[in-house]
């Protein structure tokens, strides 16, 4: 208990120092990656159960839709979602588990069910989705963030801390810049000659060529933004979090935006949590009526 109190005192003291610096128009004080990681992890809320009412705005390849979502989540187990458009009648239901996706479309003229894997999302979103990613996006937890100081370069970006994943020499040859030289808003792209590109890509896998950036609030250490530059596939994924509320033993973002960009186009999903309840069990009913067609994709 004494150790916890000491840690909280350090966080508060650091926050007060940075507050004074911001009031004077100065950037926040730089910190090591390990210190930022330690303070950030203390902000995470990890409810075992959650029920949320959400407003969602989606733009998938220019097809824009707005709808309400009732979501229920059992941590590390399942996410249940009921989707309701403007007319107030349920249009679809989804259940995500660690290794399966169940989808039910109730739209007149397009009623069908799907029982399969996350591969159904790959072509739709132009990126790979997993259960862990979906859960972490909802709760505001970082994706693929390793609790290892040696994995990141720490920088200051205005009132935020920025961690950039260290990458191999072959990646530097592709992008032409070292981690320490990356500006916060840089969009990384392959700058090497075609010969070098072919040689590096043939010797690398997806994870080798994934550059990760994480932004944290300089006062509270909540995760405010994540950006992945996937050099192997030529695409980027950006996740922004805001409107944090102290809930479920940590901080939950009530506004989240996901932007996926690739050579074939861009997709965006904006989520606003309108209300939420935590740590109460909820049912997750799902059944495909016999008269519904079963399909192998959405």
Mean per-residue pLDDT, 183-192: 71
C-alpha 118/C-alpha 158 separation (Å) is 38
Of 39, 6, 5, 63, which is closest to residue 217 (Cα–Cα)? 39
Residue 55 has pLDDT above 80, yes or no: yes
Residue 4 has pLDDT above 50, yes or no: no
Q: Poorest-confidence range of 121-125, 235-239, 282-286? A: 121-125
Residue 3 has pLDDT above 50, yes or no: no
Q: Which residues of 101-132 are buried (b: 16+ CB within 10 A; e: fewer)?
A: bbbbbbeeeeebbbeeebebbeeebbbebebe
Determine the pLDDT at residue 162: 95
Residue 207 has pLDDT above 90, yes or no: no
In the chain, the domains with their CATH numbers are: 31-298 (2.50.20.10)
Written in H, E and C, the secondary structure of the chain is CHHHHHHHHHHHHHHHHHHHHHHCCCCCCCCCHHHHHHHHHCCECCCCEEEEEEEEEEEECCEEEEEEEEEEEECCCEEEEEEECCCCCCCEEEEEECCCEEEEEEECCEEEEEEECCHHHHHHHCCCCCHHHHHHHHHCCCCCCCCCHHHEEEEEECCEEEEEECCCHHHHHHHCCCHHHCCCCCCCCCCCCHHHHHHHHHCCCCHHHEEEEEEEECCCCCEEEEEEEECCCCEEEEEEEEEEEEECCEEEEEEEEEEEEECCEEEEEEEEEEEEEECCCCCCCCCCCCCCEEECCC
User: Which residue has better confidence, 60 or 105?
Assistant: 105
* Confidence bin at 6 (pLDDT 50/70/90): very low
Mean per-residue pLDDT, 147-154: 83
Q: Poorest-confidence range of 74-88, 124-138, 155-169, 199-213? A: 199-213
pLDDT digits (tens, 9 = 90+) for 96-132: 999 999 999 999 999 999 999 998 887 666 677 899 9
Burial of 239 (0-12, 13-18, 19+ CB in 10 A): buried
Query: Mean pLDDT across the chain, nearest whole number?
Result: 86
Residue 2 has pLDDT above 50, yes or no: no
* Confidence bin at 17 (pLDDT 50/70/90): low
Determine the pLDDT at residue 277: 96
Residue 57 has pLDDT above 70, yes or no: yes
* pTM for the structure as a whole: 0.86
Whose tokens are 């588990």? That residue is 97
CA distances from 46 to 36, 43, 77, 214 (A): 19, 10, 13, 19
* In the chain, % of residues over pLDDT 90: 60
**Six token digits for residue 128:** 């790979």
Q: Poorest-confidence range of 114-128, 157-171, 207-221, 279-293? A: 114-128
User: Which residue has better confidence, 121 or 278?
Assistant: 278
Determine the pLDDT at residue 146: 84
User: Which residue has better confidence, 102 or 209?
Assistant: 102
């Amino acid at each position: 208990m004494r150790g916890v109190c000491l840690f909280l005192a350090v966080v508060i003291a650091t926050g007060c120092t940075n507050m004074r610096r911001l009031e004077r128009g100065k950037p926040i004080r730089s910190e090591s990656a390990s210190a930022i990681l330690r303070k950030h992890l203390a902000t995470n809320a990890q409810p075992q159960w959650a029920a949320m009412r959400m407003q969602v705005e989606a733009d998938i390849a220019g097809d824009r839709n707005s709808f309400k979502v009732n979501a229920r989540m059992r941590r590390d187990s399942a996410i249940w979602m009921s989707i309701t458009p403007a007319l107030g009648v349920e249009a679809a239901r989804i259940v995500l588990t660690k290794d399966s996706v169940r989808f039910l479309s109730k739209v007149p003229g397009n009623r069908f069910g799907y029982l399969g894997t996350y591969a159904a999302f790959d072509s739709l979103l132009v990126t790979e989705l997993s259960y862990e990613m979906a859960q972490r996006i909802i709760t505001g937890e970082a994706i693929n963030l390793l609790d290892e100081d040696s994995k990141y370069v720490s920088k200051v970006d205005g009132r935020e801390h920025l961690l950039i994943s260290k990458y191999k020499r072959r990646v530097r040859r592709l992008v032409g810049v070292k981690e320490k030289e990356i500006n916060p808003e840089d969009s990384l792209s392959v700058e090497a000659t075609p010969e070098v590109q072919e040689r590096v890509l043939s010797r690398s896998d997806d994870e080798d060529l994934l550059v990760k950036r994480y932004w944290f609030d300089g006062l509270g250490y909540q995760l405010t933004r994540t950006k992945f530059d996937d050099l192997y596939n030529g695409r980027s994924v950006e996740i922004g979090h805001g409107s944090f509320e102290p809930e479920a033993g940590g901080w939950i973002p009530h506004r989240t935006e996901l932007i996926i960009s690739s050579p074939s186009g861009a997709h965006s999903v904006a989520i606003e949590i309108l209300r939420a309840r935590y740590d109460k069990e909820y049912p997750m009913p799902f059944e495909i009526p016999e008269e519904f067609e079963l399909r192998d994709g959405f």
